């Protein structure tokens, strides 16, 4: 876990901003899937929808170990995208934001 992503959410982000960022990312990734039929992006999209359901909507997943065990998008981002690819940062931020979501203010 890197402090860069956790600090973004624990210091200045909110649940509302995270939901917006997650929805925006879902739309971007869905567009990629529709244009390219990429298996990588299909996996990412599936996990984004699962995060939206189980972390954001229902709050069933709140423990970081459960989130870390369930979602591979953080490691997929590290393995599959170049360091300067904005998608890498976006996916890692979504993953670490999911871990921190329960602690975020609503704002």
* pLDDT tens digits, 2-16: 445 445 555 568 898
Burial of 21 (0-12, 13-18, 19+ CB in 10 A): middle
How large is the angle between the packed helices 39-51 and 15-36, nearest 10 degrees? 150
pLDDT band at 37 (very low <50, low <70, confident <90, very high): confident
Name the pTM for this structure: 0.87
User: Would you state the torsion angle of the CA atoms of residues 55, 60, 66, 68, taken in this order, to the nearest 10 degrees?
Assistant: -10
Query: In whole angstroms, what is the distance from residue 37 CA to residue 3 CA?
Result: 33
Based on the structure, what is the number of domains in the chain?
Answer: 1
Angle (nearest 5°) at CA 20 between 98 and 69: 15
pLDDT band at 67 (very low <50, low <70, confident <90, very high): very high
Domain residue limits at 63? 3-103
């Amino acid at each position: 876990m890197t402090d860069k992503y956790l600090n973004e959410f624990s210091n200045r982000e909110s649940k509302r901003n995270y939901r917006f960022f997650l929805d925006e990312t879902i739309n971007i990734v869905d567009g990629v899937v529709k244009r390219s039929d990429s298996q990588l992006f299909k996996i990412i999209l599936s996990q984004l929808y699962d995060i939206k359901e189980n972390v954001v909507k229902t709050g069933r997943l709140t423990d970081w170990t459960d989130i870390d065990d369930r979602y591979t998008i953080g490691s997929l981002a590290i393995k599959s995208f170049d360091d300067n690819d904005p998608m890498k940062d976006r996916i890692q931020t979504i993953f670490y934001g999911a871990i921190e979501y329960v602690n975020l203010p609503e704002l």
